[in-house]
Amino acid sequence: MSASTLSMFRVKAGQIPLSRCGDNPRRENQREPKLFVGSLSAAVSKEFFEENQISHVLSIIWNISVNLPEDHHAHHLIVKCKDHPTANILEVLPDCINFIKTAIGEHGSVLVHCASGVSRSVTVCVAFMMIESNFTVGDALRSVRSARKFANPNLGFKKQLELLEKCNGDITEAEKMYSMLNYDIMEDTAQQREKANDIHARVDEVEIRIASESHESKAQATSQELLSLQDQLHSSLSLQSIDTVAKIILKSALTKAERLLESIQCDGI
């Protein structure tokens, strides 16, 4: 991991734009409501609390302690949920959404956090935006990522968010659908990683051929194959529900395919 990547990851929390969330007008002397998504480090930081006037904290955790700064005077709700693809986050959403909605309605500054600020807290914030402002999963996730670059719900949570979207933000209906869903998340994860490894291997094979390519016609065929693989990679990466590890493998393959295409062009073939 590069130094710049580490620096971004160490950011305690980011503020999510609330331009479309909620319809409670702000009076002249009331402060602007704020929604932050982040990691445990934000929840224990006195500096973060004071700088952002945090009034509400939602902790979505499992087997870790949250010691808010002394004299914080913030409303605090702890919700138990594992960050695992098989965990049912839909069942804790009502309490989470109501807490955030109340905080925003009171023009407070609310921090939603989990351990790393990547999966659970992001899922809850995405769901809040979907329910309160009719965002799609994709639009809500992009908005959250504008505040938290590493926002990436696990594959199981993404599937549940998709169900929530299908049910027009009705958590009860989404949970009913989820309970009846004959879906093996672990098998899906394994299949995605296998397919990602397969396409990466195909790009690797092309790289070996390019090293020994001598005829223009063969190089042209190789270029067409790379373009086809590039299209497949873009298609795979555009899927809404994609496993994190599979995504890393696919991005690596895409980077290599783009580099190989550039090398062919630079050679004047």
Question: Residue 72: what pLDDT?
Answer: 84
Please report the pLDDT score of residue 24 as a whole number.
52
Chain segment 30-50, per-residue pLDDT in tens: 679 999 999 999 999 999 999
pLDDT at 264 over 70: yes
pLDDT in tens, 196-214: 999 999 999 988 887 775 5
At the top level of CATH, which class does the domain 3-182 belong to? alpha beta
Q: What is the dihedral of CA 17, 20, 26, 28, to 10 degrees?
A: 70
Please give the helix or strand (H or E) that residue 124 lies within, else none.
helix 120-133
Give the whole-angstrom CA distance, residue 53 versus residue 51: 6
Collect all residues with Cβ–Cβ distance below 8 Å to 62 and sequence separation of at least 6.
80, 81, 82, 83
pLDDT digits (tens, 9 = 90+) for 153-164: 999 999 999 999
The residues annotated with a catalytic role in the active site are 114
- Please state the domain extents for the chain: 3-182, 186-266
Mean confidence (pLDDT) of the chain? 87
Query: Both tokens of residue 106?
Result: 């009171």
Which sign does the torsion angle of CA 228, 231, 237, 241 carry? Answer: negative
Say what percent of the chain tops pLDDT 70. 86
Half-sphere exposure of 90 (CA within 13 A, CB side): 25
